Structure 1
Amino acid sequence: MARSKPLDPEYSSRWVPSDFFRTFCWKEVFPTPQPVELELGAGDGSFLVQYASAHPQVNFFAVERLLGRVRKMDRKSHKAGCCNIRLLRVEASYLLNHLIPEASLQAIHLYFPDPWPKKKHHKNRLVNDHFANACHRLLATAGCVYLRTDHGDYFEQMEEVFAHKKGFEQTPTPAKLLAFKTDFEAHFNQRGIETQHACYLKKASSNMP
């Protein structure tokens, strides 16, 4: 089977910082200064490319750990003609802890993260107290964390984590946002598997925890 040819760098959405030990400057990442939204673990880019295409007035930064997925997202982004997407292969936890400027994000999207179903592996779940604190630090006032999962136990953990954070307020997820599906979500819907979602808004003049 023939392999896909790499995109010409001139047309690629992939971005690599000159220094992985320095906080990003969004002006260096995106040519057009616009609000920035982040997707963690963007998979094959199904949600990302659809949503970015429908919102050209917003810049979208997406990260994935697997190189193959980053390449697939890059091809989709190029095919859709999206100029407001940048992709980076990096661990989500490192990105949140070291690379994103404080109070610089309009939204953080985390959809269908690894549920680590075995109890002894729950410590590996991304959504925990530290994650919520990082989101609060990186979001601008009135910015939102959007979560989705098909795993009931993990969803309960997500709700419990954010319920204890005074700096966040739970609000309904916009119906327009829910219309954009990830590849996992479309697969679950076809099989009749229930999925759950939540939205947490960063309050004004709030301190954490």
Structure 2
Amino acid sequence: MPAPPFIGTPSPVPALFTPPDHFRELTRAEIFPDPSRPLEVDLGCGDGTFLTGMAAHHPERDFLGVERMLGRVIKTGRKIDTQQLPNARIMRLESAYTVGWLLPTSGVTRLHLLCPDPWPKKGHTARRLVNQSEFLDGLHRILSDDGGEFLLKTDDQPYFEDALASFATRQHQFKRLDWPADAFFYPTTDFETDWLHMGRTIHRARWQKIGR
């Protein structure tokens, strides 16, 4: 297991979740007290617009945001506290490590990756999460066995094509599901709103875990 890319501790906010140990897999109850409730993870949650919108709309589910940038973590934490959302928390950590090593096995009902960094330079494409075995293996491990889902939105066509290609090689682990625009409640993220205002197309795809 690599060392977690974690830098210090943000200014304290009640919504902040700090893992008790960064070098072992978390239990579901360490994140939220009732492990029987569905847990959804917003990976790279930005300013928390999507996270807090989902938590407010679905009080019967728990939501964990993951973000590495300190300012965004603090902003999201304040939103959670201001809106008094006991079913939402924010953690400061890098996404690939969180999925690959930290989140509990079969503990995540849905994982959302929305408008991630596209790493557009040709030499940087290996840094895209959807191209990393650590992330894809971890994703299959952490999604629940009874229909856990991965949902992706991106404005970057090459990133989207890489995702489709990566998941096409893992058809024994994931199957692609339809995702109609009106399938379920799904708030627009801050980044997605910016891209839509610029006239960009948002690509989306949804996969479900197969087997263990």
The TM-score with structure 2 as length reference comes to 0.87
In 2, Cα distance between equivalents of 1:19 and 1:143: 25
1:132 to 132, 136, 140: 136
SS at match of 1:105: coil
Unaligned runs of 5+ in 1: 1-5
In the alignment, residue 53 of structure 2 is paired with which amino acid?
A: Q
Out of 179, 183, 203, which is 1:196 matched to? 203
Question: Equivalents in 2 of 1:179, 1:23: separation in Å?
Answer: 29
Distance 1:71 1:44 in 2: 9
Partner of 1:184: 191
Supply the distance in 2 between the matched residues of 1:173 and 1:81 (Cα, whole angstroms). Answer: 31
Alpha carbon RMSD of aligned pairs, Å? 1.6
Aligned with residue 26 of structure 1, among 7, 25, 28? 28
Equivalent position of 2:110 in the other structure: 107
Q: Distance in 1 between matches of 2:208 and 2:39?
A: 16
What does residue 119 of structure 2 align with?
116
Counting matched residue pairs gives: 197
* 1:58 pairs with 2:65: no
Distance 1:87 1:118 in 2: 30
Q: 2:173 aligns with which of 149, 167, 172?
A: 167
Among all aligned residue pairs of Structure 1 and Structure 2, give the percentage whose two residues are the same amino acid. Answer: 38
Q: Which amino acid aligns with 1:28?
A: E
Aligned to 1:156: 161
Q: Say if 1:176 and 1:122 are closer, same or farther in 2 by CA, change over 3 A.
A: same
Match of residue 15, structure 2, among 10, 13, 16: 13
* Residues 85-127 of structure 1 deviation map (CA, whole Å, 9 limit, x = unaligned): 1111111111112211111110110011111111111111111
* Structure 2, unaligned runs of 5 or more: 1-10
- Partners of 2:90 and 2:28 in 1: CA distance: 13
User: Runs ≥4 in structure 1, deviation > 6 angstroms?
Assistant: none
Rounded Cα–Cα distance in structure 2 between residues aligned with 1:61 and 1:36: 7
> Which residue identity does 2:114 align to in structure 1?
Y
What are the within-5 Å matches in structure 2 for residues 35-46 of structure 1? 35-46=38-49
CA distance in 2, matches of 1:157, 1:107: 21
Cα separation, 1, equivalents of 2:186 and 2:89: 22
Deviation, structure 1 residue 77: 0.9
Q: What is the rounded CA distance, in whole Å, between the counterparts of 1:30 and 1:167 in structure 2? A: 27
Return the offset for 1:192.
1.5
Q: Which has the higher mean CA deviation after the structures are superposed, 177-186 or 96-105?
A: 177-186
- Aligned counterparts of 2:161 and 2:121: Cα–Cα separation in 1: 15
Structure 1 window deviating more from structure 2 (134-143 vs 167-176): it is 167-176
Q: Is the 8 A contact 1:146 1:173 kept in 2?
A: no
Deviation of residue 80 (structure 1)?
A: 1.6
Letter matched to residue 199 of structure 1: R
Give the aligned residue type for 1:132: L
Question: After superposition, what is the alpha-carbon deviation per residue over 1:56-88, rounded to whole angstroms, capped at 9, x for unaligned?
Answer: 111111110101000000111112221101111
Rounded Cα–Cα distance in structure 2 between residues aligned with 1:134 and 1:27: 19
2:145 corresponds to 1:143: no
